[in-house]
Amino acid sequence: MEIIHFSAECYPVAKVGGLGDVVGALPKYQNKLGHVAKVVMPAYNTKFLFENEFEVVYDGWVRLGYNNYPVRIFRERTNKLGFDLFLVHIAGLLDRDKVYGYDDDTERFIAFQIASLDWIAQWEHKPNVIHCHDHHTGLIPFMLSNCQDYRHLSYIPTVLTIHNAQYQGQFGWDKLHYLPVYDLRNSSKLDWNSSINPLASAIKCAWRVTTVSPSYLEEISYKAAGLESLLAQERGKCAGILNGIDNEVWTPQKDPMLSKAFNNRTVESGKKANKDALCNIFNLDSTKPLYTFIGRLVGEKGADLLPDIFWNALQQSDGEINILVLGSGDPHVEDRLNEITQHYAGKYNAYIGYNEALSHQIYAGADFLLMPSRVEPCGLNQMYALRYGTIPIVRRIGGLKDTVTDIGDGGFGICHDQTTVWDVGDAIGRAYNLYQDQKRVKEIRKFIMNLDHSWDRAAQQYVDLYQM
């Protein structure tokens, strides 16, 4: 099969969160299964665009309402990502430094989708499957099945993967003229709560809908930011497929970003070397347990509670633990996290920002990873932590519930039920008690490094879904 993935993100081209990691890995593993998977995404002004070789495969224009924009589509020449990568350049819209966060994001991603379909409409052959990721590409299933310009493509099966149902991309009907011509009697396929809602439209129009974990599919039946009834109505075509991780990128045996590579036989010396390096950089005590948080500092991740959680943990432990934070997001949370450094220097530190290499080093050197999420459709950080012998402390929700079992239930992680200061603090205390039993910690580390969360199984599940 030829499978075309449409996405706003793809690692290492442009990544904001887990969406980028998924789209950067799934196509590669589908190709290993003997299929031809490709990725189409916007051409942002990122280092990847300027540091690699591209060839032009399409020149044209895209009409967006009353305006026309020049379009050029580039193909990466060397197949260095393990799949064909196509970047859609639209001057004045997509050529920005950031992926999201602009006032005209609605216009940017509508234009991206229209330009991409205009290009595919000219192909002599047609792909077997079009796979859309999140609301940024959510209008594609509607346009394929309803717009006059793409009527000859309407037989191509479409799949939507919901990475996070909280973000739906809705906009007002005053922008309807952005879309290509269609029969206005089909406008109900765009509508949800009196707005044009790309995610809702994709749920209605895609042939199949997936979530990034089985538990998340269950959760959004009662908590989906207003889409609960629609998902219940369309449940028959929905499936939950747990994300994997790219074992070629996330492998402590060969990771060039680590101070010292290691495997499950050398995990103790390897983690010690990486922990020592981290503690040296961030002025921490490597003889004490090292707790970490890596991720966006937003409410979904429970990040607004982190300052209070850390204040309490440091006070109650009487300085017998280390805490290291890597992330960015809410400026107020950033300020509060930085403030702790002034009071607990030598026991706590924070790196505000994004640093891919540092994240690898932290996964390798930390003892525990905190994920007190309010919403976690799948979660990849806990899988990275397991791969590097770091014990996850997670809330029982979404993909965290599907991938981490509590040590009290014969498992290998620390789990809690609520995103509260008390619940997370109690979990930190349980982890501290576990750390005192180093024999058990060593056993857990060896066990979790052998868990298989690679993309092999998930890639096959998607292929099976396409063929249903």
Q: Determine the pLDDT at residue 404.
A: 98
Nearest 5°: the CA angle 220, 223, 225 is: 105
- Residue 162 token pair: 């919901």
Domains 2-244+456-466 and 267-452 fall in the same CATH topology: yes
Residue indicated by tokens 């509670």:
305
What is the Cα–Cα distance from 21 to 26, expressed in whole angstroms? 9
**Residue 274 clears pLDDT 90, i.e. is over it:** yes
**Residue 339 clears pLDDT 90, i.e. is over it:** yes
Q: Which fold has domain 267-452?
A: Rossmann fold (3.40.50)
Mean predicted confidence (pLDDT) in 216-235 = 95
What is the Cα–Cα distance from 189 to 204, expressed in whole angstroms? 7
What is the Cα–Cα distance from 116 to 432, expressed in whole angstroms? 52
Second CATH level (architecture) for the domain 2-244+456-466 = 3-Layer(aba) Sandwich (3.40)
**Residue 308 clears pLDDT 90, i.e. is over it:** yes
Per residue in 446-462, pLDDT tens?
Answer: 999 999 999 999 999 99
Max CA separation in the chain (angstroms): 69
pLDDT band at 215 (very low <50, low <70, confident <90, very high): very high
- The count of C-alpha atoms lying within 13 angstroms of the C-alpha of 289, restricted to the half-sphere facing its C-beta, is 25
Q: Which residues contact 156 (CB under 8 A, 6 or more apart)?
A: 126, 127, 128, 129, 130, 144
What is the Cα–Cα distance from 4 to 233, expressed in whole angstroms? 27
Instruction: Indicate the residue type of 222.
Output: Y
Per residue in 347-383, pLDDT tens?
Answer: 999 999 989 999 999 999 999 999 999 999 999 999 9
What is the Cα–Cα distance from 356 to 193, expressed in whole angstroms? 39
**Domain edges within the chain:** 2-244+456-466, 267-452
The phi and psi torsions of 54 (rounded to 5 degrees) equal -135, 155
Per residue in 157-188, pLDDT tens?
Answer: 999 999 999 999 999 999 999 999 999 999 99
